[in-house]
Structure 1
């Protein structure tokens, strides 16, 4: 087996970091609270209704008197169903892989503290990147591109905010982020004469951590209109780990020619920066309107260059583009206890070419439709429930790679989100 084949296994793991999310463009998770699901996260940088504003806009803490805590979780079920249309692979052509989506849970926890009427401190913990894709059929057609990817992230976000006056506030934070990833795919074992012998299983485990920062501003333009602007920096992750090659179904006596191998793996990836402009407008005592325009700098990942030690270098061409997201929402205050929520959004994908769409990230533009409700037990305790369905455009793929074959066909994809958030003010 050639060294370059092993290197391509390593490069796939970093690509796989975006594998599981269809609920946010690329592999970003918007679900850093559950209270925003019902509005499709419209108004996220201006709403500041609980301590989760620490992630979306730390300046929003100045709207939260006393000590505030908020925590919740979002259950996400993406679906990726592939239909083959002319794929060619080194070994035997397998099935369509079943549904590559699987359940994932995104937790969050926040606390904010009013030091005095002008200064506020906060701490947020969330998971801004992650989830998983896993093809049900271990011998599916695209198994040489990917079989399973699982990524888990943790982001710890200490923050501070300053209230200049009743109209203007500023906020800032630092972020420590850790990524843990596991990726597996098949590798064809070929005899010297080119005859296909069977498959090896390649599994890569990598992890890394790094620091970033975020800024925010909140401006009360009129008694009824509030504007929020927030920015999150790029985070440069140096990840390393191990590639493990094992025999999957190579029969004797050929198995002796492909013994198990381990290799060190490392790479650097620049997770994208993002900016959001939000507006919240109180139309009257019952209706509140929300809007968002956000930008994500996915062009920070044009390619992935892999160092696999003595095995050499490899590069994966992604050509990610920068993306936009637009969201609109509304809240209706039914009575003192109940507020009803609704929202829609258009979410652009960084993957815009069939030739560069990987099986580990069968991503495309999507539309959000969401509903939710908020119940106030009293002046201190609030619970939010939200549900969203994501409609994904019909997604075609025509991805060819040396040693992996060509995956050609279409994906039928969608996602469902259901979340609960509990907030309390001391």
Structure 2
């Protein structure tokens, strides 16, 4: 019984590296709502509110005085399993609505220096199947939550170049349950906190064009927790590494009314080859889980149209490549490449601030799976809605 319990621990940690409806693998791009309408194109170059702290801290030099921005995005993934052999118990829809909140504050302390602080949720997942589904021995409920605290500083080197740097203190909490023969249920819980960093540069090529580049470091965790099965609890630990990400963005004022923006990002998922899990009491290797993830690109293009003095309309499209190989796809959350189709709007109330709203439909290529009894495909898709308030004073 103890061996079976330990073998489920990699599944708990696998949640952090499995698919989510919002982005490939476990990443959440929804760190503001102002970028949702353009599918987050130009994320490291737009720098029009304090949420640039997350995407490119150098963008704070574009903001004067105090700037505050806060919002929330609702993410609704959908994963419905269809068995090739007509097996009973499809599990229903494993996805559910989840909130991704954020808040940022920047302060121009001197003409060339700006300080900032952000709170965000870079990674997250919540899925749940019906108790009697065919894959209940693989997964019943899976949940992961992170909170990222990001103090930052930016310096304007010249009218053309700005640099930014930030520290990231990030916490992670995860829980997993699954069925085991008996019948009984196995439940796992684990948590940790760790440090990382992010940096960026912003190049103002002209008053109508900016190019931004940013990097977020990998973060290493030693996740510790307990695995409980039929009343037996075992302390366990596992070292995990969240991958680093590089973003290159461009923003251009095409005309008095039109803006265009583009984005390419690269996440080094190939660092996740395997996961080793140890018994904390004995230090003995309990099991090893293979990932074999590959590096992944994300490409985005967006535009904004100034309808009148107070209203701006936004449009965007993005292609998000999954790092998951078909042979290694997990039943926890079957991930695959997806296409973002986004719309949004901004209402500018002047000194009273700005309100941004956005919506994205995520068309996910139906993932196939062949893991034990789970032989078939998933109908997969996603919806993201968001709202944000930004103000300067």
- Structure 2 length normalisation: TM-score? 0.97
Residue matched to 2:178:
185
> Residues 259-408 of structure 1 correspond to what in structure 2 (within 5 A)?
260-309=231-280, 310=282, 312-353=285-326, 355-379=327-351, 381-399=353-371, 405-408=372-375
Given that 2:276 and 2:285 are in contact with CA atoms closer than 8 Å, whether structure 1 keeps it comes out as no
Tell me the equivalent position of 1:413.
Answer: 380
Distance 1:264 1:397 in 2: 31
CA 1:200/1:94 → structure 2, altered by over 3 Å: closer, same or farther? farther
Is this contact kept in 2: 1:383–1:422, CA < 8 A?
yes
1:61 is paired with a residue whose SS is helix
Q: Matched residues in 2 for 1:4 and 1:297: separation? A: 32
- Residue 251 of structure 1 aligns with which residue? none
1:141 is matched with 134
Q: Match for residue 231 of structure 1?
A: 215
Q: Following superposition of structure 1 onto structure 2, how do residues 248-267 of structure 1 map, counting pairs within 5 Å?
A: 260-267=231-238
In the alignment, what sits opposite 1:79?
78
Tell me what 1:167 maps to. Answer: 160
Q: Which runs of 4+ in 1 moved over 6 A?
A: none
Matched residue of 1:115: which SS?
strand
Q: 1:226·1:280 contact (CA, 8 Å) conserved in 2? A: yes
**Which whole-Å CA distance do the structure 1 matches of 2:297 and 2:275 have between them?**
23
- 1:129-172 CA-to-partner distances (Å, cap 9, x unmatched) read 0020111x202111111111011110000000000111110000
Structure 2 residue matching 1:370: 3-state secondary structure? strand
Mapped contact 1:19–1:149 kept (Cα < 8 A): no
Q: How far apart are the structure 2 equivalents of 1:46 and 1:221?
A: 11
Q: Which runs of 5+ in 2 are unaligned?
A: none
Q: Which residue of structure 2 lines up, in the alignment, with residue 5 of structure 1?
A: 4
Match among 214, 218, 222 for residue 206 of structure 2:
222
